[in-house]
Amino acid sequence: MIRFISMRLLAFVPTLLAISAVLFVAINVIPGGAAQASLGIKATPEAIARFNREHGLDRPLPEQYVAWLGKVLNGDFGKSLQSGTPVGPELLKRLSLTLELAVLAFIVANLIAVPLGCLAAYYHQRPADNAFIVLSTVMGALPNFWLATLLILLFTVTLKWLPPGGYVPIMEAPLQNLSLMIMPAISLGVVSSALLLRIMRTSMLEVTASDYIRTARAKGAGRGVVIWRHALRNALIPYLTVGGVEFSLLFGGVVIVENIFLLPGVGQLALIGITQRDYPLLLASVLLIAVVVLTANLIVDVIGAWLDPRRVRTVGIS
């Protein structure tokens, strides 16, 4: 087990380096430039050249990457090209909001997926099962930004139950924080629940076909007792693996939703970096999202190996 965790940790660093290199190259070859975004379309070639020289953008791309990576390894994410403020402290200030949104959305997704997936398995090959499958297909096809807009129209414009956007830290006003975060969490969680519902249904069907479940039924256990008491625990093992990946996708998919609900999180910061061609801001935001995604996947691998030791043996580790 320890060796399994060590190998995952060793793979973490080169994976992150590869991601950072790809991100750096991709961001720097986007059409347009930071100089034009900062100085305007009427900027002279001399002004653009001076801006690039002052910010080191005139150097070869490999040289820029090495310099940027060296600063990042020392905890320095640079300064915004537009505002001149340090990027690192701004990222840390916004990270808690994005994590809170991802966790709330993940809770919403599981509150939908787990019971409905179990019910779909309970009513396997019955009309209710087909209805749940159709429901998961519809939820998975919904764009989260469209669902977010629909929620605002319903709960803010029509019913006037919830505020349209903004943010208050949860430690300052928990109820107000929940009222501001519930619609963003639902818009992300409903879409994510589609895949999780199908995984729970499939996993539950596999477990209920095993020998010990047939034994429980032979002893007179009812179908509901078998599903909720005996099968659910083992069905959650493969479900958790996919759930961790889905949480990573949730964290990486908050960019548009945060902007719709005016939430000052990492996603909104990344969008600002895109629109303003602010390379340090965009690189740091996307790299932070990548770190959280990789960390979540690492935690899921470790939990999965702890719950099911056979996973460790399948990769040749004793």
Of 103, 100, 102, 260, the closest CA to residue 170 belongs to 100
DSSP 150-163: HHIIIIIIIS--S-
Phi-psi map region of 171: left, alpha, beta (phi>0 left; psi -120 to 50 alpha): alpha
pLDDT of residue 310: 59
Other C-beta atoms within 10 Å of 66: how many? 12
| DSSP bridge pairs for 79 | 86
pLDDT of residue 307: 64
CA angle 270, 268, 49 (to 5 degrees): 40
Domain 90-281 has CATH 1.10.3720.10: yes
Distance in angstroms (rounded) separating the CA atoms of residues 293 and 244: 9
pLDDT by position in tens, the chain (length 318): 677 677 777 787 888 888 888 888 887 777 666 777 677 777 788 888 888 888 787 888 888 888 888 888 888 888 888 778 899 898 888 989 999 999 999 999 999 999 999 889 888 889 999 999 999 999 999 899 899 999 999 999 999 999 999 999 999 999 999 999 999 999 999 999 999 999 999 988 888 777 777 777 777 777 667 777 777 777 887 788 788 888 888 877 788 899 999 999 998 888 888 888 888 888 888 888 888 888 887 887 777 677 666 555 554 444
pLDDT of residue 167: 93
Distance in angstroms (rounded) separating the CA atoms of residues 22 and 14: 12
Distance in angstroms (rounded) separating the CA atoms of residues 27 and 65: 11
DSSP 60-116: -HHHHHHHHHHHHHTT---B-TTT--BHHHHHHHHHHHHHHHHHHHHHHHHHHHHHH
CB distance 178 to 94 below 8 Å: no
Distance in angstroms (rounded) separating the CA atoms of residues 146 and 139: 12
Domain spans of the chain, in order of start: 90-281
pLDDT of residue 316: 47
Other C-beta atoms within 10 Å of 173: how many? 12
pTM attached to this predicted model: 0.84
Structure tokens at 61: 């791309």
CB distance 262 to 184 below 8 Å: no
Burial (Cβ within 10 Å: 0-12, 13-18, ≥19) of residue 97: buried
Of 134, 141, 114, the closest CA to residue 240 belongs to 114
